[in-house]
Chains A and B, each alone.
Chain A
Amino acid sequence: MWNPCCFGGAYWGQKFFGSAYFAAAYFSKNGVTDGSNLGSPLTAQDVLTLVQSDLDDQGVRFDTSLFLRHLSRAQDWVTIRYQLLRATFPLVTAAQVPFYAVPCTLARLVVVTHVTNSAGLVLDPVGLADLRYVDLLWAQTAGTPAQFYRIGWRYLGLRPVPDAIDTLRVTGLMVPTPVTALTDVLEIPASYVPELVLVVSGLLVLSEERRYQEGLRRIREGLGIPARTPQPVTVVPSTPAEAR
């Protein structure tokens, strides 16, 4: 059973000594000593415990469903920020078909990063706006695809247009499946739990406690986004006399 005081010390330890101290303190709970064994998978309950420990002194109260929604969203932002999750799925191509709707779990896809054909050839990404400069008939010129282009979030095109059936392997940056229960296992690496805790606690403090600036600060810290510095106002003299 966690002693919140120990955990609180670990949290502040992270602030002063970096995430390694924090990670070491957390992993010691799971019996990790050399980093080769990440121990038991983290669940939403684990994160809830960490967040409650972190905020306990501040008396934040929230219900479980709200926490799970904020946790799901925090997972999304941390995953995107540090590009933690990728998935590869097949895409079957057909002869003379230039465009394809990306299959699989579309809602979780952020962007397609790599495409490989069945022979192991990695296709080069090209911009849609650049195709016309190479070949005005790019939507028809057939061959073995060597390039792919993204048409927004959900569509891929291949150039040349496939002249035969093939099964491509499409890899994309993903966000995790939303958590809906405290027993759900997180999909992001345990080493990013400190960042996740910061973002979740930031969302909770922002929404439940209405301490907006503190919430935003926590979220930015978790995502490694620097705070904006207010720009000084410069008065430009309008006449040489004023400039003196």
Chain B
Amino acid sequence: MGRADILTEAQDLLLDLGDVAFLSGALSEVERMLLQRLPVLTEIRLVATTWAFGQWTNSTTTYTDATVSIQAGGPQALTTLTTNDGHLLGAKGFFEEVRYTVSVAAVGGTPVLEYTYWNGATWRTLTPVSPPTFTATGVQTLIFAAPDDWRQGTPTGVTFPANFDADQCWVRVRFTTAPTVTAPVITALVILTALYPLSNEVLQLLAVVYYPQELEPVPVQNALDLWNQSWPTLTGVPAYVSQQMDALHRVRLVPRPTAVGPIGPALSSGIPLPTDNTLVVMTVEVPTCDDTPQWWDGIASYLVAAADAQRLTEAQDLALAGVLGELSDDLIGMLRGVWEAQGMESTPPRFPMLRR
């Protein structure tokens, strides 16, 4: 079963007079509405809470990975003495704070830094709330607000090492005026990632586990603000999660984790093995492929046909739309009864569902 079968069955009901383009276009919205009433199509995604750091060579647009070295405490230069060289910071989520432990300060000239982020198409200017000072040693902090159009992805035009997972949220720091004597060197780096993107097809969170502990779902205003107004700056092991389901689909972890958690190996269970600090996100999600239940396709075909009949003005078409709507209601009620009889909650209690 799949999209083609849904459209074929819809055409059966429309005597093959349905608008093919309309039917195809309406299917996603129909499935979204259906999922709001039958929230049983779900996904389990594992998100690595890892980050990446590497040198940026502007002349060759090359990224040289130094993640393992800096995580082990090995000294790493933040740039060279060449103009527009610098470093890249990446993570599997959106970070808003980076802490550099500068062991060797930049010397010579007046270094000028440019901060940009990858929005999926180009590098855009990022304006720090609090920029670091690399002409001094000690912990220097870069703080900024995660831009709304920041996207996870592999930047085009950048050469990454072979087998390197470049599908991350990237910030590029370039020295547009490089130091003239000594490049700054760091011996430690912490990238605090609190926001993780969700697919636009996600309608609702079911549960979020910062492995091995499930996080408590909390709203921001009514819970986090009342609990501790400094919650955006807290670091530690996450205990809470809030969902953002407006134009941006994100989850926020509170406190911000400092540890990293890679994803374990793929398993025959169909789901990779979570390791400590891995994020496990379970969602109700509109299907994006043909992997839908057989019965789901049947109801979807009735709703798509009803939508096509509804947009016409003939009385007979409106009558068809009405009957198909009633039939769909009957079948949805029947299915909800089946699940509820099995004790399967039809509406998880904690996270609100996106409705639009």
Contacts and interface: CB of A to CB of B under 8 A. Distances in A.
A219 B335 contact: no
A175 B334 contact: no
Contacts of A220: 330
B327 A151 contact: no
Interface residues of A, number: 61
Contacts of A12: none
Contacts of B294: 76, 107-108, 175, 178
B268 A153 contact: no
B194 interface: no
A173 B338 contact: yes
A137 interface: yes
A212 B323 contact: yes
B15 A129 contact: no
Interface string A173-194: 1010010000000000000000
Contact of A129 (B12, B322, B345): B345
B102 interface: no
A17 to B, nearest CB: 26
Interface in A38-92: 66, 69-70, 73, 76-77, 80-81, 83, 92
A138 B214 CA distance: 8
Contact of A219 (B41, B327, B342): B327
Contacts, number: 153
Nearest to A62: B12
Interface stretch (A3-11, A95-103, A232-240): A95-103
Given A97-B273, A128-B206, A132-B214, A216 B42 contact: no
A125 B342 contact: yes
Contacts of B323: 206, 212-213, 215-216
B121 interface: no
Contacts of B345: 127-129
B12 A66 contact: yes
Interface string A94-122: 10111111010011111111000000000
Interface in B260-279: 267-271, 273-274
B343 A139 contact: no
A195 B8 CA distance: 24
A127 B345 CA distance: 7
A151 B42 contact: yes
A81 B212 CA distance: 39
A151 B206 contact: yes
B9 interface: yes
B40 to A, nearest CB: 4
B293 A223 contact: no
A140 B212 contact: yes
B300 to A, nearest CB: 12
A110 B295 contact: yes
B209 interface: yes
Given A139-B209, A215-B323, A73 B298 contact: yes
Contacts of A99: 44, 269, 271, 280
B129 interface: no
A127 B343 contact: yes
B320 interface: yes
Nearest to A125: B343
Q: Which of B1, B15, B271, B284 has the most CB of A within 10 A?
A: B271
B282 interface: yes
A107 B1 contact: yes
Nearest to A66: B12
Nearest to A172: B342
B165 interface: no
Interface string B205-216: 011010111101
Contacts of B343: 125-127
B29 to A, nearest CB: 20
A113 B344 CA distance: 10
Contacts of A101: 269-271
A111 B298 CA distance: 16
Nearest to B316: A210
Interface in A188-243: 206-208, 210, 212-213, 215-216, 219-220, 223, 225, 228
Contacts of B39: 152
Nearest to B275: A96
21 contacts: A69-B12, A73-B298, A76-B294, A93-B269, A100-B269, A109-B293, A125-B343, A126-B343, A129-B345, A132-B214, A136-B213, A139-B213, A153-B41, A153-B42, A155-B42, A155-B44, A207-B13, A207-B15, A210-B15, A212-B319, A219-B330
Given A110-B295, A155-B44, A212-B323, 8 more contacts: A80-B334, A97-B273, A107-B293, A128-B282, A151-B282, A153-B293, A210-B320, A225-B333
